[in-house]
Chain A
Amino acid sequence: MHSILAVDDSASMRQMVSFTLKNAGFNVVEAVDGQDAYEKANGRDFNLVLTDQNMPRMDGISLTRKLRENPKFKTTPILILTTESSDQMKQAGRAAGATGWLVKPFDPAKLIEVIGKVIR
């Protein structure tokens, strides 16, 4: 079973994402911010990281950057969930090594659709 690390500081968003993913047959590990995610990522293997951008302690872009430093996460898809889709954000995401972005708000179907493109 594929494992996904879902990172969001909002409990409702986390639940929604997590529920959607579990419903779709994924194994989900939740993290409440970038720091938490980084710590959890070290212990396990993940097939995908879904992270919110704006979070306390460590934001999504910083998390992406830090994860890419870890050889284990060199090729793992990392998607940033963001309310902002400006070029600026995209450049920052790209520079950090993110795989792509998904603009919030999204519905469960969209999430599954996007994930289907990076996890096969």
Chain B
Amino acid sequence: MGETTNDGAHMSAGIDLSQFFQVFFEEAGENLEQMERKLLALDVGAPDDEELNAIFRCAHSVKGGAATFGFSDVAELTHQMETLLDKLRRHELSPTAEMVDVLLQSGDALRAQLARHQGHGTVPIETADLLVSIRRMCEGPGADVAAPAMAPVAAKPAATAVAAAPAPAAPVKPVAAGARVLALTVGPLEDPSQADSLVELFREITDLGTIEPLDGGQAADGLRRFKITTTTADSELLDLCTFHVARESLRLESGGAGYGFFKGSPGAPAETAPAEPAKDLGYGFFDDAPGAPAHAASAPAAPVAPVPAAATPARPVVAAAAAPRAEKAAASPESSTLRVSVEKVDQLINLVGELVITQAMLAQNGKNVDSQLYQQLVSGLTDLERNTRDLQEAVMSIRMIPMSLVFNRFPRMLRDLAGKLGKKVEMVTQGEATELDKGLVEKITDPLTHLVRNSCDHGIEMPAERLARGKPESGTITLVASHQGGSIVIEVRDDGKGLNRDKLIKKARERGLDAPDTMSDQDVWGLIFAPGFSTADVVTDVSGRGVGMDVVKKNITALGGTVEIDSAEGYGMTVRVRLPLTLAIMDGMSVGVGEECYILPLASVVESFQVEPGMIKTIGGSGRVVEVRDEYMPVVDLERVFEVPRFDFEHVSNIMVVVEAEGGRVALLVDELLGQQQVVVKNLEANYRKVDDVSGATILGDGRVALILDIGSLVRRSRH
């Protein structure tokens, strides 16, 4: 590890910066997300100052971190964005839709860059076009920045004396040893933006060192000022610069004059990279300010006294052997949140699941204990049950994340999509704070994306058509999330043209589907979930190739959820997705068939009753139906479905449980109702193999395994 510096006292700065990378990545991700959200919400015509400030801060914050931690490409792009945003918040420029577009694209590029630094993908992200666009926008309307012509200098052997430039992806790049800090003043120029081509020059020739605009890209008095860190000789540097700016407009001075930067630690560990703001610009004290050291610099506008040259000997920030590791840093005493890996939480959930099973076993055995004799044991078991349930809820809540994480991606998508389609669409979200299990959130994102795209593509009409129908020009897509009982309900509503009953029926018949005129609306709308069904007159590249809604339905059903549609032609459509709150635990009803026990998801149970003679009617050979309050529904005999061995041949199952799924109902024939309980769902497919009509398994209180029935599958089976 590096030596301590001369000051002695508290010098052990051999800090491994990589320990902060993860926090930075997460923070940058959040900032980019926030920036995107705010950009999308920005009213270009009448921007809110506070919003502009907030957007600026997002870029600013990412830039600060990126520069500190050595992600030069990220810092470079955010720096440019920040320059533009700064002008916007200072009202030097007015925001335009193009600016928002470019800033959004830049956000995407930054995400890609950050992903790359995190080890996802190796291809460098091309941002040259974005940088040029932003820079041009910074110049304001009318200004025309000549595309930087680099060819003549690109091969110039200017930097032969300099150590080879490090690999571009390396996060920490040392500035070549012996680098000098220089101040370059450019101007006066007719077009001050000309000076920016110097930045390009340094980007092209990485060996040249670094250049940083000191004036935030603005000419104060017609002059532009840069700080250069380089090992190249002055004359050679000036030669190169004259390719872009006339010699008489260039003034090169050794570091510091007028700008309060110190000749920093020479060749010191720089986390900056070429073309990045160099880190050793310095610091300063206001003389006579409280607490300023005796040898403080003079007045701020005047040259600042240099720090003794020996301030910091060269010492690279080395990743290895940094003394105290990240744990210390991660657990800051002032922070109120803790980031934990999902694996740890899942492990906790599994353990709690096992505990629930053990508790259920104890509870079952406890039933046989004489409560008079073992009063304490019984009350202990009661406490255990309550505590286990509380613990389970608490642990499950760790995995709960707000729906806003899904909703937030839609405004951007919709904006791009509407732009492509020439439509005007606004997005409204409600209930973003509604929480859902993380696993479900991940799995519901794709189906929801599809629904939103569908609404935009097929639902919302073109602006002219909307106006002709007396609707507002701009369509609205509303996303609503809410808790209802043990489920979460997510609605995708649009105020578009809605579904056309006749068209759907006609289409269904063309496809050979059974579609009588007497079908209920609900059933007609359900047709769009049939495989290969698309009602779009024109297939666009956005959606509607006929795959989709059936896949959406399948995916949602696989999550234990349901989809319903409401529509009124001319007024729009609502797709309602209902999901269980979590996949790991389910409220179940256990039923007995022979020696076997099966679990029915409680959410799907409608009612149960005792079969009276004559209630069951046989139709068309083997099909049996039961009449319940004037409604006939198919009977599914679980004994037959699962081929339950039966030794008591006289026995006749006489309990019916009506269950509902996918808009259909069936009556299950069982021997007995065993009770209701929470079950820990174990994946059968992952542990064994896919079994028809079974969605999972659980371990009962007595240690037996019970299968959890897939009601949707049973309902489908009864339709055939």
What residues of chain A have their CB less than 8 Å away from a CB belonging to chain B?
A: 9-16, 18-20, 22-26, 29-31, 48, 52, 54-56, 68, 74-79, 83-87, 90-91, 93-94, 97-118
Contacts and interface: CB of A to CB of B under 8 A. Distances in A.
B291 A118 contact: yes
B24 interface: yes
Nearest to A115: B10
Given A10-B27, A91-B301, A109-B315, A86 B65 contact: no
A106 B68 contact: yes
B282 A103 contact: yes
B642 interface: no
Q: Count chain A CB atoms within 10 A of each CB in B5, B296, B315, B332 and give the residue with the most.
A: B332
Interface stretch (B100-108, B261-269, B474-482): B261-269
Contacts of A10: 27, 61, 64-65
B10 A24 contact: yes
Nearest to B172: A107
Nearest to B17: A16
A83 B389 CA distance: 51
Contacts of B57: 9, 54-56
30 contacts: A10-B65, A12-B20, A12-B23, A12-B24, A12-B68, A15-B332, A16-B69, A16-B329, A18-B329, A20-B13, A23-B12, A31-B334, A52-B64, A76-B291, A77-B291, A79-B283, A83-B63, A83-B67, A83-B277, A94-B286, A97-B289, A99-B285, A101-B283, A104-B67, A105-B277, A107-B17, A107-B68, A109-B2, A110-B264, A113-B312
B329 A117 contact: no
Nearest to B227: A85
A71 to B, nearest CB: 12
B62 to A, nearest CB: 9
A103 B67 contact: no
A76 B286 contact: no
Contacts of A102: 282-283
B283 A100 contact: yes
A91 B301 CA distance: 8
Contacts of B27: 10-12
A111 B13 contact: yes
Nearest first, the 9 closest Cβ-Cβ pairs linking A and B are A77-B291, A100-B285, A90-B300, A109-B13, A24-B10, A102-B283, A12-B24, A105-B67, A105-B68
A98 B13 contact: no
A86 to B, nearest CB: 6
Interface in B250-296: 259-261, 264-265, 268-272, 277, 279-286, 289-293, 296
Contacts of A113: 5, 7, 11, 265, 307, 311-312
Query: Looking at chain A's contact residues, is the secondary structure mostly helix, strand, loop, or mixed?
Result: mixed
A15 B329 contact: yes
Interface of B: 2, 5, 7, 9-15, 17, 19-20, 23-24, 26-27, 54, 56-57, 60-61, 63-65, 67-69, 75, 214-216, 259-261, 264-265, 268-272, 277, 279-286, 289-293, 296-297, 299-301, 307, 311-312, 315, 317, 323-324, 328-330, 332-335
Nearest to B286: A94
Contact of A107 (B11, B13, B261): B13
A104 B215 CA distance: 15
Nearest to A26: B10
A16 B328 CA distance: 11
B175 to A, nearest CB: 11
Given A23-B323, A75-B290, A113-B311, A13 B65 contact: yes
A42 B322 CA distance: 35
A108 B10 contact: no
Contacts of A87: 300-301
- Which of A29, A102, A107, A114 lies at the interface centre, i.e. has the most chain B CB atoms within 10 A of its CB? A107
Contacts of A85: 214, 259-261, 281-282
A48 B269 CA distance: 25
A98 B23 CA distance: 29
Contact of A118 (B24, B61, B270, B293): B293
A68 B290 CA distance: 9
